[in-house]
Chain A
């Protein structure tokens, strides 16, 4: 009996330590953001008011809490610039996500067709870029896409073009950057979904008279659906909040919400607005997450 008791005390610690960590460094900061989003900007340090202090008396505290308001949210939501940034984030992330699927699906499919002994190495090869620095990969594309970059140089020297194409600092550059950076996230779930499929299914389909094309559309793709959905989500969600890619590859007119948040915070020092933007960004992402969750539950049922 004493063994059991000691164990359960140990268990309590094993649970409490990570839980406490997450509450302090994840949950509490998040609630703090919410609180600041309800404050007003001020020319002060920290640059918002009211500032809650632990030293405040209850009366002062209550007074300050009463001063919290949704004004900032209202400003953000009615501001055309933010609205445009939200829309443009969603649009770019959505296009980039589909493009990623378009690139990743044939690749993942071809990987499952490779001989068994190659496959582990191919998977490794597909994930490896994920381990190399994100910034370096973006830097590589700056090198390629700039007016004096390698693609333009190559095309010019081949005589295919006579003036450099302007690819850098465009939305297309941002799309390429997202596709390139998040490709491993799409390949992996797709590969897992496709690799699990029994080859006999396709043989059965062709035995029953399906052409390879219709077998692909009616067997392979539907069965890969969970993988496709996971991949879409894994790319879309981080892409919406992306800051580095639009900042380095996009032009000054490439609006994305992560970038707005960044400049609101670092350049304008408007903390309440940055916080409100963050909260609204999160609200935006909860919808696809819930769709995915429901899908998971539905797939798990039968």
Chain B
């Protein structure tokens, strides 16, 4: 009946987190393998990173992915924040449940269906697929995630803060700028980060909505993975993991610095 960590619980934690992290660690480890055969250790080397930077196609794909992710992240943040405000603050309005359904549905919709339907629409309307069609697809998915995150923040928002500011002479626009915005900014940032990573990571929707010349990094990785294990993939993966790891670290540090209130 004792609370706290028993050796039993500790071993569960070790096993569980081991299961989560060992495969990723191995990918990183074998990226420094000198051997061409991924799973045969041939000594330490950084040659795959060097060859990575000579791989034009991969670099091109990475640049497309990054640009798509930034654009989709930004669009998602703006659209999702608007949607969250509409859902949380506007009370009842016509077709509210339809709107809410549209906001939440992409969260549970299989990606293949979202991708397929977007593709069919673009073809039907005669729109050439490329950079912006991928952005549109990713922004639609990202919108929903941002809306959920921001709405959660808004629902815990003490409305009397805004009333107090108004009471002290702030016009509605200033109330938004000096009270509402600073307080939901962490949620918006988290939402942006989520939408950004989803876009960077997405393979399925991108495959449907991309056109010639707009191949994304996951699409490139996928086609190489299908061909078998190559140390270059390990190197790319390591860089991506490092990138996301840094971003997460920065985000959580910023969050801790900006919101000491969370501590109490």
Residue ranges of A at the interface with B (Cβ–Cβ < 8 Å):
3, 7, 11, 14-15, 17-19, 21-23, 25-30, 32-33, 36, 46, 52, 103, 106-107, 109-111, 113-115, 122, 124-126, 128-129, 131-144, 146, 148-150, 153, 180, 183, 199, 202-203, 206, 212, 237-238, 240-244, 248, 258, 261-262, 265, 271, 274-275, 278, 281-282, 285, 289
Contacts and interface: CB of A to CB of B under 8 A. Distances in A.
Given A133-B218, A143-B38, A149-B39, A29 B120 contact: yes
B116 interface: yes
10 contacts: A22-B140, A26-B105, A110-B9, A110-B13, A139-B237, A140-B237, A143-B26, A150-B39, A180-B19, A262-B112
B208 to A, nearest CB: 8
Contacts of A122: 13
Contacts of B27: 136, 139-140, 143
Contacts of B204: 243-244
A133 B240 contact: yes
A17 B79 CA distance: 7
Contacts of B39: 143, 146, 148-150, 153
B73 interface: no
Interface stretch (B50-58, B157-165, B177-185, B222-230): B222-230
Contacts of A124: 248, 252
B200 A133 contact: yes
Given A14-B86, A110-B13, A248 B226 contact: yes
B80 interface: yes
A206 B111 CA distance: 47
A271 B9 CA distance: 52
Nearest to B108: A237
Interface string B7-46: 0011011001101110110110010000001110000000
Interface residues of B, number: 76
Contacts of B26: 140, 143-144, 150
Interface in B168-210: 171-172, 197, 200-201, 203-204
A177 to B, nearest CB: 11
Contact of B123 (A46, A129, A132): A46
A261 B119 CA distance: 13
A110 B8 CA distance: 9
Given A32-B120, A32-B121, A132-B24, A23 B102 contact: yes
A126 B200 CA distance: 20
Contacts of A17: 79, 82
B83 interface: yes
A215 B42 CA distance: 53
Interface string B95-108: 00001001101101
Interface in B91-139: 93, 99, 102-103, 105-106, 108-114, 116-118, 120-121, 123-124, 136-137, 139
Contact of B229 (A3, A134, A143, A278): A143
B203 A135 contact: yes
B23 A285 contact: no
Contact of B140 (A21, A238, A289): A21
B103 A281 contact: no
A18 B120 contact: no
Contact of A129 (B21, B137, B139): B21
Contact of B16 (A22, A103, A141): A103
Contacts of A36: 120
Contacts of A258: 110, 112
B121 A28 contact: yes
A269 B3 CA distance: 59
A103 B218 CA distance: 28
Contacts of A206: 1
A140 B113 CA distance: 26
A142 B120 contact: no
Given A46-B123, A110-B12, A132-B244, A183 B20 contact: yes
Nearest to A30: B117
A135 B222 contact: yes
Contacts of A140: 23-24, 26-27, 237
Contacts of A14: 82, 85-86, 90
Nearest to A279: B113
B149 interface: no
Contact of A26 (B82, B106, B237): B106
